Amino acid sequence: MKRVLIVEHDRLHRELISEWLVAGGAQAVWPQAPTQPVTDIDVILVDVACQQQAHEVLSPWRRAYPRAAIVLASGRFSRGDMANDAMALRLGATRILAKPFTRMDLWAALGLSGPH
């Protein structure tokens, strides 16, 4: 089971994402800060306000979880950006999710197979 750390400041979004992850067969976790590490994290889903702040926001999470894949989510990305692996790499991420995203988009970005 994949363990996905959710870095989302909006409580309602975090709860919805958590429900979707559980439905997709993953475990959702979230610490208060990178200095409060959680063990065995496979993927970090990080909300960013804009592309320009991606490196700054990701830096502490990357240090705390160097082996985890990182998926960036933002309302500033377009649906076309979701397939742009070069952009994700440039921003220091594995994948990009444009908000609003669907449950299926989330599962695809995290490599989840769907309902369990």
Task: Flag whether 115 is in a domain.
Answer: no
pTM, two decimal places: 0.87
State how far the alpha carbon of 3 is from the alpha carbons of 35, 41, 46, 80, 110, in Å. Answer: 18, 5, 14, 27, 10
Task: Flag whether 13 is in a domain.
Answer: yes
Tell me: pLDDT of 32 over 70: no
* pLDDT at 26 (0 to 100): 96
Task: Flag whether 116 is in a domain.
Answer: no
Tell me: pLDDT of 33 over 70: no
Residue 20's domain is classified under what CATH number? 3.40.50.2300
Of 96, 98, 99, 89, nearest in space to 110 by CA: 96
**What are 50-107's pLDDT values in tens digits?**
777 888 888 888 888 899 999 999 888 888 877 778 888 888 888 989 899 999 999 9
What length is written for the chain?
116
- Overall domain count for the chain: 1
* pLDDT at 34 (0 to 100): 67
